[in-house]
Amino acid sequence: MLVACTYKPGRNWISGKSIHEQRLGNHIKYMLMLNNLGKVAIAGPLMDNSGGLNVFHVESLEEAEQIMYHDPAITEGICVGEAHPWYSLLNSWTGENLVSGQ
């Protein structure tokens, strides 16, 4: 299943700094490790510096929540996160189209 995790600024987000100026080195290492394990479907920062979006390929919502809650961006208070079950109806990269009647 796919789970979309939204990340927003937390208590240790540096106000007035872009997402590229935040202390996210440990988060990036964590995401690379998850990517190598095949857990990351798509991930990246929001370009308006309001946080990020990670879509994880996991067995359950609980697995995605555990991944998110162990993310250094969350544990270090740089971000807060929410996890939501999600599926792709349309995907121009893969050509997937699950819209009824199409």
Q: Which residue has the tokens 């009647």?
A: 101
Query: Per-residue confidence at 70, pLDDT binned at 50, 70, 90?
Result: very high
Q: At residue 67, does pLDDT exceed 70?
A: yes
Overall average pLDDT of the 19-37 stretch: 96
What is this structure's pTM? 0.85
Residue 45 to residue 43: CA distance in whole angstroms? 7
Query: Per-residue confidence at 99, pLDDT binned at 50, 70, 90?
Result: confident
Tell me what the pLDDT averaged over the chain comes to.
Answer: 91
The second-level CATH assignment, the architecture, of 2-97 is 2-Layer Sandwich (3.30)
